Amino acid sequence: MGTRAGGRRTGPKCIAIVGPFASGKTTLLEAILARTGAIARQNPVSSGNTVSDHSPEARAHAMSVEATFATTEFMGEQLTFVDCPGSIEFSFEAEPVLATCDIAVVVAEADEKKIPALQLIMRKLDDLGVPRIMFLNKVDKAISGVRDTLKMLQPASSVPLLLRQVPLRKNGVVIGSIDLALERAYIYREYAESEVAEIPGDDKARELEARFSMLETLADHDDQLMEQLLEEIEPPKDAIFDDLAADLRDGAVTPVLIGTAEKGNGVLRLLKTIRHDAPDIEATRKRLGAPDENATVVQVMKTIHTAHGGKLSVSRILSGQLADASELFLSNGATAKVSGIYRMLGKDQSKLTSAKAGDTVALGKLDDVTTGQTLSSAKGGIKPLVTLAPPQPVFAFALRPKERKDEVKMSAAIQRLAEEDPSLSLRHNQDSAETVLSGHGEMHLRVVRERLEGKNQIPIEGHPPAVPYRETIRKTAQQRGRHKKQSGGHGQFGDVVIEIKPLPRGSGFQFTDTITGGAVPKTYIQSVETGVRDYLKSGPLGFPVVDVAVNLSDGSYHAVDSSDMAFQMAAKLAMKEGMAACSPVLLEPVMKVEIVTPSDATSRIIALIPQRRGQILGYDARPGWPGWDVVEATMPQAEIGDLIIELRSATAGVASYRAAFDHMAELTGRLADEALNANGKAA
């Protein structure tokens, strides 16, 4: 025993701080920075002066809306902490960070409502293979004991939650903690290092029971420890610490430390655990599959556009050395030249001359580099080490500047925002001539709009995107269309007889001709089809027409005055008059929707689907996700626009959905009238 972990890993480390919304992540970062001397004092989140609250949007909504990087030193070692947003709407910020960090600190609390959100985070860490420590926060306010809390939280974790500390209480109030590995008590002092003390006699039995439980879990991965426990031999402390470090690095357990970040309690023990047990850049490089060569390899974790310093690419140096003005290669072989290396402390930066493996730094003015890209000093670059796949957008709005002169400015600003947040999606809807911005929730897009209007000074008008209604017909009709015009010289003459009939839903458009005897010359039949198709772009109800067949059956022409344009006009006239007699009807798109939700909210989700004109197809347990269900339904697209707001409200902010087009369905009555009126057509 004592050699599994291979000793302490030295060198710079990168630690992601993650956890459900309002669990205390930003408060913990403030406490860490204050304890390590990076900031003068710990600022409460309510003050709006924390390192993570450097954006007006974060202050306005009292929540982190982007990843914040802060580098500090502890006991001679460099540690970079990344405060990741807790809301699911901003969770994609953590993706490139988690992929590249050495370890994650998961901030949790004794709140049953936050277990689904915690499970989402733990599953992501599993997927990426990131070791993690849990910091059980707000122990001074917890009603239940920590072991009961861990039993409650365990379903969120695929590996055992290993309790390393138990609270020390006096008259029912938490006054400190007992470290089960060190067998030592620590008396809390607000914003200061805890006082070391002997374990009180009344707590000794409780400590021994909790310690034996910890050792039993460690023995699952250490046969020698198992033998010692069976033989009631006290294992040496250095062997226990070695097992703790080895199991953490292997991802076999999640050690749980306790404290109250708001008062700075438990922070020093957390820092020492990170320093002693966390893996280093070598393990992270191996996890990412980085090449074993001497080249400098850089992984971009976030893109920031600063007001005065331009574009910054916050990056992890995976291997090698990096000097200012170095030339790096992208995976596609393009080159990028570093113009400035900076250490980050929230919005503040300090200039460096170089960076080494393990460092997390901001690189200046890499204009063609985006978040998630891999850079290398190897000529031609290396293959990307991280693949970013943003989740499907669940909320959208159409936007335009209030003043037309700001259109180019708005487009450039959105492009910068999309570089900072790759989960944003922008598209131009040709049918409605709208610019549609999509994201992962109402708050996500609200922050984007606030940045456009605040940071970029562009007043914006926004509204729900137009629904792509279509129209079709119920009846068949025959109609003649004649276009005749004489204006001196050659005139215009085209004459057609067409038959219009409905097709089964989903058939699209068909054009045929049954012309005999050359009533319409072959050279003009294509012109007739062109005129018909042009008309179908906007039918009698004002929407594109689908599922219609048109046959050209007869007509006439003039040897001199007939032309392509004349027959196009004749076809449009015939369609305009004929379609009105075909009993046109409005069609709306219906989507197939798959909703993922915690099981305890499934009944609420099922109840709201019919309220949105949806039809439930069924529901079942979500494969591989204990405590979650998948609900399948069909729902009109018009009802999906703000669906995510109601889903999140019903599930403490964690439900989501995927939607795909399923079919078109007739829309009649009041809803059809509203759609027609909104489109400027009389019902």
At 92-132, the pLDDT tens digits run: 999 999 999 999 999 999 999 999 999 999 999 999 999 99
pLDDT band at 682; cut points 50, 70, 90: very low
Name the DSSP letter for residue 423. T
Starting from the edge strand earliest in sequence, which strands make up the sheet with 509-513, in order? 477-485, 492-502, 548-556, 509-513
Taking the C-alpha atoms of residue 327 and residue 362, their distance in angstroms, rounded to an integer, is 15
What is the value of pTM for the model shown? 0.92
Q: Is the dihedral of CA 312, 315, 321, 327 positive or negative?
A: negative
Angle (nearest 5°) at CA 322 between 318 and 325: 140
Q: Is the dihedral of CA 149, 152, 154, 160 positive or negative?
A: positive
**Span 262-314, pLDDT tens digits:** 999 999 999 999 999 999 999 999 999 998 778 999 999 999 998 777 899 99
Name the DSSP letter for residue 135. E
Question: Token match 């562009």: residue?
Answer: 458
**Span 171-212, pLDDT tens digits:** 889 999 999 999 999 999 988 999 999 999 989 999 999 999
Helix (H) or strand (E) holding 100: helix 95-100
* Burial class of 375 by CB neighbour count within 10 A (0 to 12, 13 to 18, 19+): buried
pLDDT at res. 97: 97
Q: Taking Cα atoms as reference points, which of 346, 332, 412 lies closest to residue 375?
A: 332
pLDDT at res. 489: 65
The residue type of 275 is: R
The residue type of 428 is: H
Please state, for a pLDDT cut of 70, what percent of the chain lies above it. Answer: 98
- In three state form, how does the secondary structure of 472-510 look? EECCCEEEEEEEEECCCCCCEEEEEEEEEEECCCCCCEE
Question: Token match 């007699």: residue?
Answer: 581
Name the DSSP letter for residue 368. T
Are residues 20 and 135 in contact, defined by beta-carbon separation less than 8 angstroms? no
Query: Which whole number is the average pLDDT over 485-509?
Result: 90
**Span 533-544, pLDDT tens digits:** 999 999 999 999
pLDDT band at 431; cut points 50, 70, 90: confident
pLDDT at res. 681: 56
pLDDT at res. 465: 94
**Span 26-50, pLDDT tens digits:** 999 999 999 999 999 998 887 777 8
pLDDT at res. 54: 66
**Span 434-492, pLDDT tens digits:** 999 999 999 999 999 999 998 889 999 999 999 999 999 999 999 999 999 876 667 89
Query: Which whole number is the average pLDDT over 494-521?
Result: 95
Starting from the edge strand earliest in sequence, which strands make up the sheet with 395-401, in order? 425-429, 434-439, 395-401, 460-463
Angle (nearest 5°) at CA 387 between 127 and 285: 70
